[in-house]
């Protein structure tokens, strides 16, 4: 049984802004509409629409930036309400959770009665929910969007007439390449899930990717993923005693990242990856909170940290929204892998479409996943991505930030930087010691007035002496705090046609960059 809260990012944004559910609101990500309320949709606003186009259709549209932490935090009271009806719940993402309905349905007198109980429980939190029931998870998630109950044994018939695009309707149940697969199937003339399911499993396996095999099983109403049958080693669990106990969101966020790194180091050592994770929190007074998160693909350290942070934030702020907040600060945290799979599903190549692109933060999905995999093996600080920064020299204009952290530059790139090196910047950065010599072989320095002490004719790099064909500069730079410290840059062209950027600082020359 799946419980779906429509337009959850928009609902969470409206709640944060103090708006009612009938207000037209849209959540933006990268300048496009990620989700919108029913009122906004009634005016023609749709997902994927550009911001300006959405505003032209709905002038009263309230805009909000996407915030996964906000969505996860505000969803916790909904999960708590459902858990009061059915104890065992699994959260797929903020706005969507699943429950095992067999025993609970017998207790409440049937699946329809159970669905009504859950909808009423969610309604007490001020949220509208829709419930779908089916044999398989994928079918239940689709049925939840229309509040349907699929009779036992009829999943395949229910899916047969649905459009092929339903394979991408839920991101938590599809791989990163699912959109390309659906586009390919459409061009092959397959318009429905039933048409795709009629293909031979052997043909799909031999001609498509592993994700296509999973999609084929989903389209046929078969289980999409087989959990590992091997027992999960107890040593994989991560437990942390909070000293002092935590009751602040920022401390919870920091701790979530640390626990995620510890968990993935243990998973990597055991050659396993986690697809279902339970977060336990025990308070000072012994109260225990637990929540299980289920994912379509193995959790990465970044995704694990996000879910731990969302969950802790949800618990810590639950009391302010009428939820069940802990009775005291959290004294102990535990991450328990509930389901593990072959970690090979996390391996992606650095070729083709996986190369970094100019979209978003500059990383393609496949490249990001590969980097996250490396980060999980070597630690959170081992993988860094460049961020444009401010500074006078070429090296200062790039800040390196750990993958997953907020991309904040070390210095303001838009500020005025006097004496900044003119473009183009060197293609290759370096820090190699050098000597600039005149015709008599004497060292050339830079005077306090910003001139060479003699005309440079040669540059010695290591044991090699290179004759200069051309040079420009020097261009002094520095700060008001050290007016007598002479620093300057110069460009030189060697006889072998290499162009170098030289930097003079503290009476020493270095090769700072190479132009290509």
Q: Where are the domains of the chain?
A: 2-133, 234-341, 353-420, 428-515
The DSSP bridge partners found for residue 347 are none
Predicted confidence (pLDDT) at residue 360 exceeds the cutoff of 60: no
Q: How far apart are CA 342 and CA 268, in angstroms?
A: 11
Per-residue pLDDT at 356 = 41
Preceding omega of 244 cis (within 30 degrees of 0)? yes
User: What are 76's two structure tokens?
Assistant: 């916790």
Predicted confidence (pLDDT) at residue 37 exceeds the cutoff of 70: yes
User: What are 123's two structure tokens?
Assistant: 């309604």
Q: How far apart are CA 376 and CA 260, in angstroms?
A: 9
Per-residue pLDDT at 350 = 41
Per-residue pLDDT at 162 = 92
Cβ atoms of 112 and 149 within 8 Å: the answer is: yes
Cβ atoms of 335 and 259 within 8 Å: the answer is: yes
Predicted confidence (pLDDT) at residue 515 exceeds the cutoff of 70: yes
Per-residue pLDDT at 471 = 86
Predicted confidence (pLDDT) at residue 305 exceeds the cutoff of 50: yes
Predicted confidence (pLDDT) at residue 464 exceeds the cutoff of 70: yes
Long-range interactions of 390-394: CB distance < 8 A, separation 24+: 390/414, 390/415, 390/417, 391/417, 391/420, 392/417, 392/418, 392/419, 392/420, 392/421, 392/477, 393/421, 393/477, 393/489, 393/503, 393/512, 394/421, 394/425, 394/426, 394/429, 394/501, 394/512, 394/513
Per-residue pLDDT at 352 = 39
Predicted confidence (pLDDT) at residue 296 exceeds the cutoff of 70: no
User: What is the band of 454 on the pLDDT scale with cuts at 50, 70, 90?
Assistant: confident
Could you give the maximum distance between any two Cα atoms of the chain, in Å?
Answer: 101
Architecture of domain 234-341: 2-Layer Sandwich (3.30)
Higher pLDDT, 415 or 82: 82
User: What is the band of 355 on the pLDDT scale with cuts at 50, 70, 90?
Assistant: very low
304-318, 329-343, 471-485: segment of lowest average pLDDT: 471-485
User: What is the band of 228 on the pLDDT scale with cuts at 50, 70, 90?
Assistant: very low
pLDDT tens column, 39-69:
888 888 888 888 888 888 888 888 888 888 7
Judge: domain 2-133, CATH 3.40.50.1370: no
Predicted confidence (pLDDT) at residue 322 exceeds the cutoff of 60: no
pLDDT tens column, 150-174:
988 898 899 999 999 888 888 777 7
Q: What percent of the chain has pLDDT over 90?
A: 4
Q: How far apart are CA 505 and CA 475, in angstroms?
A: 12
Helix or strand run (H / E) with residue 501: strand 499-505
Q: What percent of the chain has pLDDT over 70?
A: 87
Arithmetic mean of pLDDT over the chain: 80
Predicted confidence (pLDDT) at residue 348 exceeds the cutoff of 60: no
Cβ atoms of 400 and 407 within 8 Å: the answer is: no
Mean pLDDT, residues 137-142: 89
Secondary structure (3-state) at 475: strand
Predicted confidence (pLDDT) at residue 227 exceeds the cutoff of 50: no
Most confident of 35-44, 325-334, 373-382: 35-44
Predicted confidence (pLDDT) at residue 176 exceeds the cutoff of 80: no
User: What is the band of 364 on the pLDDT scale with cuts at 50, 70, 90?
Assistant: low
Per-residue pLDDT at 131 = 92
User: What is the band of 231 on the pLDDT scale with cuts at 50, 70, 90?
Assistant: low
Higher pLDDT, 363 or 327: 327
Per-residue pLDDT at 262 = 85
Model confidence, pTM: 0.57
Higher pLDDT, 188 or 315: 188
Higher pLDDT, 389 or 319: 389
Q: Is 208 exposed, middle or buried (0-12, 13-18, 19+ CB in 10 A)?
A: middle
196-210, 230-244, 256-270, 424-438: segment of lowest average pLDDT: 230-244
Reference 70, options 300, 324, 335, 306; nearest CA is: 306
Predicted confidence (pLDDT) at residue 476 exceeds the cutoff of 70: yes
Per-residue pLDDT at 344 = 54
Q: How far apart are CA 313 and CA 73, in angstroms?
A: 5
Predicted confidence (pLDDT) at residue 241 exceeds the cutoff of 70: yes
Higher pLDDT, 481 or 324: 324
Predicted confidence (pLDDT) at residue 397 exceeds the cutoff of 50: yes
pLDDT tens column, 428-438:
888 888 888 88
Secondary structure (3-state) at 223: coil
Higher pLDDT, 61 or 254: 61
Distance (Å) of CA 281 to CA 101, 243, 245, 314: 26, 14, 11, 12
Cβ atoms of 494 and 469 within 8 Å: the answer is: yes
Per-residue pLDDT at 405 = 66
Q: How far apart are CA 161 and CA 150, in angstroms?
A: 14
């Amino acid at each position: 049984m799946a419980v779906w809260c429509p337009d959850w990012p928009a609902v969470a944004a409206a709640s944060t802004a103090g708006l009612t559910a009938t207000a037209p609101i849209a959540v933006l990500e990268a300048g496009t509409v990620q989700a919108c309320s029913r009122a906004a949709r009634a005016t023609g606003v749709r997902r994927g629409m550009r911001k300006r186009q959405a505003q032209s259709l709905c002038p009263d549209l309230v805009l909000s930036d996407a915030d996964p932490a906000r969505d996860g935090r505000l969803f916790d009271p909904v999960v708590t309400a459902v858990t009061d009806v059915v104890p065992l719940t699994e959260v797929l993402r903020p706005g969507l959770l699943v429950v095992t309905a067999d025993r609970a349905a017998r207790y409440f007198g049937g699946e329809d009665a159970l669905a009504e109980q859950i909808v009423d429980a969610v309604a007490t939190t001020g949220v509208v929910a829709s419930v779908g029931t089916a044999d398989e998870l994928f079918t239940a998630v689709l049925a939840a969007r229309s509040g349907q109950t699929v009779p036992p044994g009829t999943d395949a018939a229910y899916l047969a007439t649905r459009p092929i695009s339903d394979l991408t309707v839920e991101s938590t149940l599809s791989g990163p390449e699912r959109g390309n697969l659906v586009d390919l199937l459409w061009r092959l003339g397959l318009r429905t899930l039933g048409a795709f399911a009629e293909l031979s499993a052997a043909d799909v396996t031999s001609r498509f990717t592993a994700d296509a095999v999973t999609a084929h099983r989903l389209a046929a109403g078969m289980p999409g993923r087989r959990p590992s049958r091997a027992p999960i080693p107890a040593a994989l669990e991560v437990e942390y005693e909070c000293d002092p106990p935590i009751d602040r969101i920022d401390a919870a966020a920091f701790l979530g990242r640390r626990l995620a790194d510890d968990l993935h180091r243990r998973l990597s050592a055991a050659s396993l990856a986690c697809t279902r994770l339970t977060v336990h929190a025990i308070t000072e007074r012994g109260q225990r909170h637990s929540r299980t998160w289920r994912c379509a693909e193995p959790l990465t350290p970044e995704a694990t940290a996000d879910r731990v942070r969302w969950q802790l934030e949800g618990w810590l702020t639950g009391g302010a929204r009428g939820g069940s907040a802990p009775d005291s600060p959290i004294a102990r945290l535990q991450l328990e892998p509930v389901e593990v799979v072959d970690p090979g599903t996390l391996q992606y190549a650095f070729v083709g479409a996986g190369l970094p692109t100019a979209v978003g933060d500059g990383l393609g999905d496949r490249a990001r996943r590969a980097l996250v995999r490396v980060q999980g093996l070597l630690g959170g600080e081992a993988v860094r991505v460049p961020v444009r920064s401010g500074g006078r020299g070429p090296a200062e204009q790039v800040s390196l930030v750990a993958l997953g952290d907020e991309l904040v530059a070390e210095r303001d790139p838009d500020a005025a930087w006097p004496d900044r090196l003119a473009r183009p910047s060197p293609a290759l950065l370096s820090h190699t010691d050098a000597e600039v010599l005149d015709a008599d072989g004497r060292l050339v320095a830079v005077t306090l007035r910003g001139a060479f002490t003699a005309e440079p004719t040669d540059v010695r790099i290591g044991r090699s002496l290179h004759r200069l064909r051309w040079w420009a500069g020097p261009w002094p730079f520095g700060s008001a705090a050290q007016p007598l410290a002479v620093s300057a840059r110069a460009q030189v062209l060697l006889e072998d046609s290499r162009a170098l950027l030289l930097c003079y600082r503290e009476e020493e020359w270095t090769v700072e960059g190479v132009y290509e």
